[in-house]
Every structure is written in C-alpha cells, then in structure tokens.
A and B are shown apart, each in its own frame.
Chain A
Amino acid sequence: KAGVTQTPRYLIKTRGQQVTLSCSPISGHRSVSWYQQTPGQGLQFLFEYFSETQRNKGNFPGRFSGRQFSNSRSEMNVSTLELGDSALYLCASSLAFGQGGNEQFFGPGTRLTVL
C-alpha cells in the first residue's frame, strides 16, 4: 500500500508570495491533518480535514488555509508569505473512525524556504 505522498518536496519562495502544498493520503484514509515544524516551535498542528470539511484548527493566522477534495486529497495554502513561514510542512492521514485509537501516518513533508 502506498504511503502518504506530499508535493513538492522542496520549495523556495519570496516574502509576499503565496504557496500551495499538496498531500495524497493513504488509500481509504478519510482524515488529513497538517502540521508545521520549525526549530523554535517544534511540531504544531495546523488543521484537520475529514470528508471535505475542516473539523479542527490550530492557532495559526488566517493566511494559512486548506481544503480537501472528494478523493480525500488535500491542499494547504499560505498567502502573503513571511520569513517565519519557513518550515517543514507535514501531512498525516488516518482512518479516523475514533474507536480503539487511530494511528496517523505522516508523509515526508514539504520543506518551504521563504527568502
């Protein structure tokens, strides 16, 4: 079974630009979560999507947004990029049935550098 895939793997942007990152979950997984990882703040939850609906959101400004498609693939968008948005962006998928505990499977991440 193929794992979680994320594209692109590396991205360089300049301040003020916007960026879209893509995540394809494991086949059959309906929940997709996004995380930001920086050296200073560690791994922080951005948001989670299930059945095309955002049902959980972390403490990030409105410049960070996302969506999920009917095939469970998800995209996240960051507008008006700032230097502090440089980070590893991770996507995770899970079955999300809620009983018995669910493990989440992470993709390799997209390394975003803002210049």
Chain B
Amino acid sequence: DAKTTQPPSMDCAEGRAANLPCNHSTISGNEYVYWYRQIHSQGPQYIIHGLKNNETNEMASLIITEDRKSSTLILPHATLRDTAVYYCIVRAPNFGNEKLTFGTGTRLTIIP
C-alpha cells in the first residue's frame, strides 16, 4: 500500500469548513483513498473513500486531484464533535487482504 503524508495537527473554527490534506504521491492505479477518524479512546470511524472521482456523503466530501497524488477531506460545517485524529489510508481492494495501515494522522481541533 502506498505511503501517505498528513500534517500532524490543524485547528478549525466551529462552523467553518475543515480541509484536511493528504499526500499520496506513490499511489497505484487500483488503490483507493480511505479516510477514518478516531475520537479520543474510541474505535476508528469510517468516513469516506474514493478511487478517482470526488465523493460526498452525509459526513464529508473527498476531493482527489486529477493525478491522484493528493486528496483533501472536507468537513463542511465543523462542530466540536469533529475534534479527532483523522487518518488518510491508501490501499488496494485485494480480496484476502483487509489490512489497514494507519499512519500518525492529523489531530484536528475545532475551536469554539
């Protein structure tokens, strides 16, 4: 699985959009970009994933650049409950391999 690079920490004002970047310059053609988050001492929570098109769900939007070397997770109207560590993970959907390789993630703090 390709390596990802994320900033260690970010702050965002409550009510504003939080934009979390992720660099994955060595991504392969069949690898998906996944985002998970972990609120303190809880299990990670799946947010969204995508291959090359932009994706949106009820939680967030995922913007993947055309060359797929980077992506941005957007939380449109951040709330205090969005304070968490956000992990960007790149992996291929290989049947027989569900392993997720977590990096150090981005610690997002929402400021009241």
- A residues adjacent to B (C-beta < 8 A): 4, 31, 33, 35, 42-45, 48, 50, 55-56, 58, 88, 90, 92, 94, 96-109, 111
Q: Is the interface of A mostly helix, strand, loop or mixed?
A: strand
Contacts of A58 in B (CB 8 A): 99
Contacts of A42 in B (CB 8 A): 102-104
- B residues adjacent to A (C-beta < 8 A): 32, 34, 41-46, 49, 51, 87, 93-104
Which single member of A31, A94, A97, A101 contacts B51 (CB below 8 Å)? A101
Which single member of A56, A90, A98, A100 contacts B43 (CB below 8 Å)? A90
- A94 shortest CB reach to chain B, Å: 5
Given A98-B95, A103-B49, A90-B44 contact (CB < 8 Å): yes
Q: Determine whether the beta carbon of A56 is less than 8 Å from that of B45.
A: no
